[in-house]
Amino acid sequence: MKKNKYPPIINLAILVFIILIFFSINNMKLDENQEEIQNIDFQIIEEGNMKIISGFTRPFGLTLDSEDKMYITDFGGHSMLIYDKNLNLVKNVNPQNEAILKNPHSVDFDSEDKMYITDFGNKKVQKFSKQGNFISTFVGEDYLKGPATSYFDKDKNLYVSDYGSNALMKFSKQGRFIGWIGAKEDGTLTNEWESELIPTSVSNLPGGFDRLHMANIGSDGSIYVADTWNNRIQKFSSNGRFIGWIGAKEDGSLTYGWEKEGIAVSSSLPGAFNTPVSLDIAENGDLIILEFNGNRVQRFSEEGIFIEILATGFNQGYDAKIKENKLYVVDTGNNQIKIITLF
């Protein structure tokens, strides 16, 4: 038998060195992520019934998962940040890599917990794992001119509010283009999902859009759209047919339920809108609507009836979500996330 030429202490030192190298390599990505997190100067403060997270470059979108983790798109930082339910920052996805994310706008999940980020700057919807690892481009600039938000329905179809083309796009779960709704180049309106990809236009007519920002899907398949610069919320059937709108009428009066005719105007009255950008749906079906210039969050019934003002005092916020008794608001102008406990 060949005798070991090294003393036991040397053998032990070599073994320890190999183990350290192994763990150093395997933890490299974790160390890099921790460094990225440490480079973010964020603060959490409490003011009465509100918690405020500060330190973002320009936050735009926010989504919550079943574990109450927050997924926040940082438009100015070209990244997406993940916070756990205790508000600890656990992941900085894609910091400053503009080839993968450039001005990300919003984030949503499919039924398999894959994450889809609307990449406004690159004109794409990008697919990631829930842990934040890039998988592929789901929809590209062949169809999109400036995607703002995306949302899945119960049939796994993806709806993309394309701010750049003033159209709501629909794609299958495989990323196949199904159709769009909005105004055609000649000013006529679609009456259902238009399968031909033709030039679109701005329109303030019922069923048209002017810089739509967010769409959401009701439990019955109805589609609600925040038609931002037309100062209204519009409702469509699942087959893309216009149902009605809510907001302030030209004569200054307010809609009471879904209005089929006329155009909307900006108004600060309760029940009216000044550039609505975000639309969430509460568990009971109520519509939760945030106004960009109106700087408030309002609640409406699914029948389109104004209920109450939930919160005010924001600075050009871009997104709001409600879960149980908490309202989460992306206060973009102040570079903050505000978590408000509702009484």
The domain spanning residue 82 has which CATH number?
Answer: 2.120.10.30
Q: Which amino acid is present at 145?
A: K
Q: Look at the chain and report how many structural domains it folds into.
A: 2
The DSSP secondary-structure symbol of 31 reads: H
Residues 34 and 159 in one domain: no
Same domain (yes/no): 28, 51 = no
Q: In terms of domains, do 252 and 134 share one?
A: yes
What is the reported pLDDT for 97?
73
Average pLDDT over residues 231-254: 97
20 and 84 fall within a common domain: no
Does residue 7 sit in the same domain as residue 140? no
335: left (phi over 0), alpha (psi -120 to 50) or beta: left
The full DSSP string for 238-302 is: TTS-EEEEESEETTS-B-SS-B-SS-EE---STT--SSEEEEEE-TTS-EEEEETTT-EEEEE-T
pTM for the structure as a whole: 0.88
Burial class (CB in 10 A: 0-12, 13-18, 19+), 59: buried
Task: Tell me, yes or no, whether 323 and 187 share the same domain.
Answer: yes
Domain that holds residue 8: 1-39
Q: What share of the chain is helix, strand, coil (3-state, %, to 5)?
A: 10, 45, 45
Mean pLDDT, rounded, for 292-308: 98
Q: What is the pLDDT of residue 1?
A: 47
Q: Is residue 209 domain-shared with residue 232, that is, in the same domain?
A: yes
The pLDDT value given to residue 42 = 83
- For residues 154 and 170, membership in a common domain is answered with yes
- Residue 122 corresponds to which tokens in the numbers above? 């690159």
The band of 11, judged by pLDDT with boundaries at 50, 70 and 90, is: low
140 and 96 inside one domain: yes
CA–CA separation, 341 and 322 (whole Å) = 10
pLDDT for res 277: 98
Q: Are residues 2 and 141 in the same domain?
A: no
DSSP code, position 228 = G
Verify that 246 and 285 share a domain, yes or no.
Answer: yes
Per-residue model confidence (pLDDT) at position 343: 81
Residues 222 and 120 occupy one common structural domain: yes
